[in-house]
Structure 1
Amino acid sequence: MRDSWSKKIFIVLSVALTTGMSSVSVAQDGPILDLGAELEQLKAAPEETHAVTAQTVTKPLANVPPPKENKAAEIAHDKPLHWGYAGHEGPRYWGDLSPEFATCKEGKNQSPIDLRDAQAVGTQGLADLDIRYRDVPLKIENNGHTIQVNYPLGSYIKVGGKRYELLQYHFHTPSEHQKEGFNYPMEVHMVHRDGDGNLAVIGVIFQEGEENQHLNTLLNVLPKQAGKQKIYSALSLNPAHFIPVNTEFYKYSGSLTTPPCSEGVYWMVFKQPVSASAEQIQQFNDVLGENARPVNSINSRSVLKSWSEAVQQEPMYEYY
């Protein structure tokens, strides 16, 4: 089994590395192996075997009542923690819902934040951002918190030569990051992970304007109810289409914007919004509702921007 894994990994990496693409490109290769799904199936197999063994060993003897157990505690342990965006399960209370969510309340490097040009440090020394995404069959789901499109291995970004695989992209209405103190109507997050488990997220904000033809691919199959992932082999929506023409971006160290709010996330948020029509934004909002976490304090962090402001020359005056 180990040999077969290594062969598949080699196939994925060799396809990605040998494809000639520009810094922001859309590869036209066929779909690649979804190694992540295969690994999940392999992980599930030992659990199923264990369950059968446990059933055989713990079968009660005839006429002997089984020992009393705290079924409520057992059910509560197996039941996933529920959180949301309103009421007593909203962002204000995430840190109190479970010890696992404590960082949502106690963390000092939380996301999202308000991005302001005057407070960000201009620099030309930020690592280059190289985006290499491929066209793959559309895998879409409504997970109860957002509309998410899942991606197989083979699409990635490189930041300063370090590779992060694209895992998924998802949407928030309104935007989670603010610009100059204002929320935009929508934001998409592209979530990546490197081989050591470190996360890097690209954020793109949407403003109301012209229709975005690429969003129609999603809107035509938008799952209105939470449920399992659906796969459309004849459809594809490459998130490279959401990258704005002006590729200036903010960079800062933050967190996941949903529980458990883990920190150490490398954030890159593009300065320039992209457009979507009012009708398209409304269609997303009808399904998502308001699923944006409020902004958090920057605290002692520095927000960098990938551009430096031009030095203003002193105005020249002539007196008559």
Structure 2
Amino acid sequence: MIKKSISVSLLAVATSSLLVLGACGTTDSSSSDKKTDDTKTTQTTKETTTKTDEKALLDWSYSGSTGPSDWGSIKPAYKISDTGKKQSPINIETKDAKVDKAKVTLGYKYQPTMFKVTRKDKTVQAVAQAAKGRADSKVTIANKDYTLKEINIHTPSEHQLDGKDYAAELQLKHVSADNKTAIISVFVKQGDKNQAIGDMTSVIAKSENGSTTAMKQAVSTLGLIPEDSTVFTYDGSLTTPATTEGVTWYVYEKPITMSKEQLSDLTKQLSDNNRPVQKLNDRQVTSN
């Protein structure tokens, strides 16, 4: 069993929204017709620009000629997507996992945490915000502290268990003082509403491409961690370009739940933003 501890803090964060209004009229005069045509042209240009901007925010995507199978050829920095031997995500065959409890011991020092959510195309990065007078959320692994930096969300899940995927996957990225990365991954299935996530799902649903929005509610980060669950660990990589290796993954077997509405909020912006599973090669998956 993994022990968890939590403290409570309050923080209010204001958000802003963007409202765009457009209008046009008609008249019988030729000059007015020209103005109307110009207005329509301007509006069309703006719409085209917006759509183009949305597609151009990232130089990679989850489909087409810039999809996962072509990431390695987009530019040299992404080449490891093709050549790497420790790429993520993977399909975890639970029967093949080697039991080693000492290697999978996680000590949580999590706090309720505020996040700012940035969306770019079909990716979302929820960045943890420091709060005055309150410690950052951390997890201790092998006597080393890792600080929670961000949460990334994929729908459906990227990792699989015995060939099965889930409705969504939360990936909690942590970094140590010596710049080592550990990602704690939690599957999500449809069920009861998830109170721990705060207003993150609704913020994502309303997010504009390229925008950053501060959440109004804190995430009860400890509440995102499943109780009494088997945890699988392996050496892998980031799952988005440049898919850098040197990442230690901790994948929980037991999923948490979100309501149908919460999952719908996520898929409005993030549908099918999952990289396909990668070859395990000679890596060993360990469990507790």
TM-score category, normalised to shorter length? 0.7 to 0.9
SS of 1:182 mapped into structure 2: coil
Aligned to 1:254: 236
Contact 1:23 1:132 in 2 (8 A): no
Give the length in aligned residue pairs. 237
Matched, 1:220 2:197: no
Q: What are the residue-to-residue correspondences of 1:116-127 with 2, within 5 Å?
A: 116-127=93-104
Aligned position for 1:28: 8
For the pair 1:241 / 2:223, whether they are aligned, the reply is yes
Q: Which one-letter code corresponds to 2:228 in the other structure?
A: N
SS in 2 for 1:219: helix
Instruction: Answer 1 or 2: higher relative contact order, Cα 8 Å, separation at least 6.
Output: 2
How much has 1:91 moved relative to structure 2?
Answer: 0.5
- Cα displacement string for residues 240-289 of structure 1 (whole angstroms, at most 9, x for unaligned residues): 21111123200000000000011110100001111122332122111112
Q: Which amino acid in 1 is paired with 2:7?
A: A
Contact 1:104 1:261 in 2 (8 A): yes
Partner of 1:230: 213
Matched residue SS, 1:28? coil
Structure 2 matches for 1:22-171, cutoff 5 A? 23-29=3-9, 82-152=59-129, 154-171=136-153
For the residue of structure 1 that corresponds to 2:152, the secondary structure is strand
2:257 equivalent in structure 1: 275
Change (3 A) 1:172 1:249: same
Rounded to whole Å, the distance in 2 between the matches of 1:174 and 1:264 is: 24
Q: Give distance in 1, aligned partners of 2:93 and 2:77.
A: 32
Residue by residue over 1:184-212, the C-alpha shift from the partner in whole angstroms, topping out at 9 and shown as x without a partner, is 11000000111121110000001122222
Structure 2 counterpart of 1:276, one-letter code: M
* Contact preservation (8 Å) 1:30, 1:136: no
Q: Give the aligned residue type for 2:120.
A: N
Bigger share in strand: 2
Q: Distance in 2 between matches of 1:290 and 1:216?
A: 23
Residue type at the aligned position of 2:200 = L
List gaps (5 residues or longer) in structure 1. 1-21, 32-78, 307-320
**In structure 1, C-alpha distance between the alignment counterparts of 2:151 and 2:209, rounded to whole Å:** 17
Q: 1:136 to 1:183 in 2, by over 3 A?
A: closer
Mapped to 2, the partners of 1:305 and 1:124 lie a distance apart of 7
Q: Which runs of 5+ in 2 are unaligned?
A: 12-55, 131-135
What amino acid is aligned across from residue 85 of structure 1 in structure 2? Y
Partner secondary structure for residue 96 of structure 2: coil
1:190 aligns with 2:167: no
Q: For the aligned residues, what is the CA RMSD?
A: 2.0
Question: Which letter does structure 1 place at the counterpart of 2:283?
Answer: R
Contact kept? 1:185, 1:206, Cα under 8 Å: yes
Q: TM-score, normalised by structure 2?
A: 0.77
Instruction: State how far apart, in whole Å, the 1-side matches of 2:287 and 2:64 are.
Output: 36
- 1:250–1:303 contact (8 Å) kept in structure 2: yes
**Residue type of the alignment partner of 1:177:** H
Equivalent in 283, 287, 290 of residue 272 of structure 2: 290
Aligned: 1:303 with 2:280: no
Residue 247 of structure 2 is matched in structure 1 by 265
Q: What is the identity, as a one-letter code, of the residue corresponding to 2:70?
A: Y
Alignment check: 8 A CA contact 1:187 1:203 kept: yes
% identical aligned pairs: 30
| Distance (whole Å) between structure 2 residues aligned to residue 288 and residue 81 of structure 1 | 14
1:216 Cα deviation from its structure 2 partner = 5.5
Q: Distance in 2 between matches of 1:264 and 1:136?
A: 26
Structure whose alpha-carbon radius of gyration is higher: 1
